[in-house]
């Protein structure tokens, strides 16, 4: 296991100044070795990834692994995505400073925090209510003021805040929910992993043109499934 500045992996206490410096150095290496080295050149995206403290979005027991090259568990059977995937999806959306963006699958709030550095406002939906509450609290504590989090089902989108310039889906539906396409502006972009639970999924980049949707498969991926809400108790 990687040890960062003597950081105690199970600790729940806030990191010391020396630990923060070690995290920052690890984050710089992450951006160079995992993201830039794999071809992501967008300086805005690299800058956002270099700024957002990923270790603040993972459980204390995972903090020493926060800048490793993979996903990590965040509780409730869910994961924070691999840093490279976060950067890839962010770059693919071509985020603009005036954009209003919808995220489906808040999880830890990390992807929302990264995007929030590059756009006007991020609306993020999370179906697991305790995750939504925790992400909302973490984002607030860390000063990410242009992210709104709501517990809810991403299959329905966020009609009250639509239309969006961009939509990012961080869980995998088997088919793209119609509401999300409807809530995308003409000229808008959507990045979404599509495919069966645990099977071959493909990341799609969609562009909405006046004459219809342009669809491009951009990367094979593996995401947790996008679930439908339980409407009846078992």
Q: Which of 65, 66, 87, 128 binds ligand SAH (CB under 6 A)?
A: 128
Q: Which residues pair with 190 in a beta bridge?
A: 167, 206
By CB under 6 A, tell whether 52 contacts ligand SAH.
Answer: no
Tell the smallest beta-carbon distance from residue 64 to ligand SAH (Å): 18
The single residue among 34, 90, 108, 183 that binds ligand SAH, judged by CB under 6 A, is 108
Q: Residue 5 or residue 68: which is nearer to ligand SAH going by CB?
A: 68
For residues 2 and 68, the answer to whether their CB atoms sit within 8 Å is yes
| 155-232-151 Cα angle (round to 5) | 40
Our finding on whether 89 is near ligand SAH (CB under 6 A) is no
N-terminal to C-terminal alpha carbon distance within the chain: 41
- Separation between Cα atoms, residue 49 and residue 83, nearest integer Å: 8
Q: Which of 104, 93, 106, 33 lies closest to 67, judged by CA?
A: 33
Candidates 90-98, 104-112, 142-150, 202-210 — which segment interacts with ligand SAH by CB under 6 A? 104-112
Print the binding letters for residues 130-169 with ligand SAH: x by CB under 6 A, - otherwise.
-x---------------------xxx--------------
For residues 173, 178, 182, 184, the Cα torsion angle rounded to the nearest 10 degrees is 20
CB of 212 to ligand SAH, least distance (A): 25
Window 59-88: residues binding ligand SAH (CB under 6 A): 78-81
Q: Which residue's CB is nearer to ligand SAH, number 69 or number 214?
A: 69
Site for ligand SAH in 212-231 (CB under 6 A): 224, 226-227
- The angle, 0 to 180 degrees and rounded to 10, between the axes of the packed helices 43-51 and 83-92 is 140
Catalytic site residues? 81
């Amino acid at each position: 296991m990687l040890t960062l500045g003597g950081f105690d992996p199970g600790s729940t206490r806030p990191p010391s100044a020396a630990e923060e410096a070690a995290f920052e150095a690890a984050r710089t290496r992450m951006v160079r070795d995992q993201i830039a080295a794999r071809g992501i050149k967008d300086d805005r995206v690299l800058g956002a990834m270099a700024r957002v403290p990923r270790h603040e979005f993972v459980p204390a027991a995972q903090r020493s692994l926060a800048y490793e090259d993979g996903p990590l568990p965040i509780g409730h059977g869910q994961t924070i995505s691999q840093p490279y995937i976060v950067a890839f999806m962010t770059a693919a959306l071509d985020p603009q400073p005036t954009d209003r963006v919808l995220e489906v699958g808040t999880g830890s709030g990390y992807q929302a925090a990264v995007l929030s550095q590059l756009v006007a406002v991020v609306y993020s939906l999370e179906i697991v209510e305790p995750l939504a509450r925790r992400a909302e609290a973490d984002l607030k504590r860390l000063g990410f003021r242009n992210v709104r989090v709501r517990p809810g089902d991403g299959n329905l989108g966020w009609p009250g805040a639509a239309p969006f310039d961009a939509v990012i889906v961080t869980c995998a539906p088997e088919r793209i929910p119609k509401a999300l396409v409807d809530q995308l502006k003409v000229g808008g972009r959507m990045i979404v992993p599509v495919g069966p639970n645990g099977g071959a999924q493909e990341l799609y980049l969609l562009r909405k043109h006046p004459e219809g949707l342009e669809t491009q498969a951009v990367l094979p991926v593996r995401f947790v499934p996008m679930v439908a809400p339980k409407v009846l108790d078992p």
